[in-house]
Amino acid sequence: MPEARAASAALPQPALEIASGYAFGGPALDLGALLWDGVCLPDAQVRIPLPMLNRHGLVAGATGTGKTKTLQLVAEQLSAQGVPVFLADIKGDVSGISAPGARNEKVQARAAEVHQEWVATGFPAEFYALGGIGHGIPVRATVTSFGPVLLAKVLQLNQTQEQSLGLIFHYADQKGLELVDLKDLRAVVAFLTSDEGKAELKNIGGLSTATAGVILRSLTAFEAQGMADFFGEPEFDTAELLRTASDGRGMVSVLELAAIQDRPQLFSTFLMWLLADLFHDLPEVGDADKPKLVFFFDEAHLLFHGASKAFLDSITQTVRLIRSKGVGVFFVTQTPKDVPADVLAQLGNRVQHALRAFTPDDQKALKATVKTFPDSAYDLEELLTGLGTGEAVVTVLSEKGAPTPVAATRLRAPESLMGPVEASTLDAAVKASPLYGRYAQAVDRESAYEKLSSRGAKGPDEMADEVRAPARKPKDDPSVVEQVVGSGVFKSLARSLGTQIGREITRSLFGTARRRR
């Protein structure tokens, strides 16, 4: 941007120093224009280098400050540069990214303020919905693939119950009882707690009848809430998120969550499954010219709330290692304190919208947020409470990987529609997708439920004998860790070295299993 750099000589000295930190030579995303002393300086553009988008980031701010529009702005420019994007649409208003925006006075005024050449543009998009609830191509996971650790969080089990659930998965894997949907898992637990299966239960160290009963009741209640649709086949292949359109632009994958926004534990954990599955399948790429995918993790605080230390460690490990696979992750939440320190330390790109300071807790959060930024020429406490809608405090990583100066920024206007498209238009787009025929119809093949049901018809003694038959008597009461490490699920993770090592770490940490291809 030579014109901007030449004109920037007239900027005030502090603003000139900030602007020089954003004068990148390579491809970059344009966020907006610098704000200094209450004045917008369009000759000082604030940008993010494209290769640094896999260094992860945070978009934060109070409700109504413009976080969603920031996501839309960044997603548009990533798509335009051939980078696929994943967006979780909690409120149902991101679908407009697929349609050209509407020119109006506000858009024109903002474009003029920041020297943006605004052109109404729609971007290639696919729309998904968890279990097909809502408008979108159904996204499902098998229970086996989802794994006991993530499922335990969805079911809100405690640590002991989580470990017991892991043993139940291990038992099912050992006996060839495929856990495709929730009724499969419920059938296995019901068998283990029945008169016929109690002998099997005794062979699983550390799993009591009482704990198995708690898990069974949790599963039954979970199904009664209508959650069964999210688990089953055909299982969604996360490689679909890496697609580009025929014109070379990156596909924007929008996961519609408005229909289930009252089930936060479910969708936040499903987002983690998507991320963990991507990490499992992608090869190492090191430092690439641009990311393979940028993944926006909305309502991130829901993932971390009430999570065990082991679960948080798994997230931290995944976020740290997935960068080398070319995936950037942006957590979206209200304040940085919603994100654990070990995760926050890995988020080099920051877009902080306005914060409120109406209560003592708000003021404490404000002070904590200020401490997470590099030293700045601004009074950040005052600035963060005075930002308007569509304005933010920005610091990113330069092309050399060093933090840029903190820059108050008036953000550009998205060029796509800032609001939802019509439901009929959305449904038509979903049904016209080449993926619709692949995932729309649920399939219920023979799995654990059917196998246990057919055995039950042969009588209790014979059924128990058949289920017990493949088992080998454990020696010296192996520990929980020994049993899990000895399971077929774990062994499948150790098939190769090299780039597969990263997969093994995530798969063992989250307890997820490789899907059938």
Q: Give the model confidence (pLDDT) of 366-423 as tens digits.
A: 998 999 898 899 999 999 999 999 999 999 999 999 999 999 999 999 999 999 999 9
Position 505 pLDDT exceeds 80: no
Write the burial class of residue 175 (CB in 10 Å: 0-12 exposed, 13-18 middle, 19+ buried).
Answer: buried
Q: Give the model confidence (pLDDT) of 446-502 as tens digits.
A: 999 999 988 754 444 444 444 444 444 444 444 444 444 444 433 333 333 333 333
Lowest-pLDDT choice from 137-141, 206-210, 361-365: 206-210
Q: Give the model confidence (pLDDT) of 218-249 as tens digits.
A: 999 888 888 889 999 999 999 999 999 999 99
Q: Give the model confidence (pLDDT) of 176-189 as tens digits.
A: 999 999 999 999 99
Q: Give the model confidence (pLDDT) of 281-311 as tens digits.
A: 889 987 889 999 999 988 888 888 777 777 8
pLDDT score, position 509:
52
Q: Give the model confidence (pLDDT) of 16-39 as tens digits.
A: 999 999 999 899 999 999 999 989
Neighbours of 131 (CB within 10 A): 22
**Nearest partner of 347 among 397, 408, 381, judged by Cα:** 397
96-125 average pLDDT score: 96
- What does the mean pLDDT of the chain come to? 85
**What own/partner pairs with CB < 8 Å and gap ≥ 24 does 486-493 have?**
487/169, 487/170, 487/173, 487/174, 488/173, 488/174, 489/144, 489/169, 489/170, 489/173, 489/513
- In this structure, what are the phi and psi dihedrals at residue 409, rounded to the nearest 5 degrees? -135, 135
Lowest-pLDDT choice from 123-132, 298-307, 355-364: 298-307
Tell me the pLDDT band of 506, cut-offs 50, 70 and 90.
Answer: very low
pLDDT score, position 388:
93
Contact 509, 314 (CB under 8 A): yes
Lowest-pLDDT choice from 5-9, 264-268, 329-333, 384-388: 5-9
pLDDT score, position 512:
63
78-100 average pLDDT score: 93
Taking the model in full, what pTM does it have? 0.85
Two tokens, residue 402: 């060093």
DSSP bridge partners of 407: 394
Share of the chain above pLDDT 70, in %: 86
Helix (H) or strand (E) holding 435: none
Q: Per-residue DSSP letters for 165-179?
A: HHHHHHHHHHTT---
Two tokens, residue 47: 């940008």
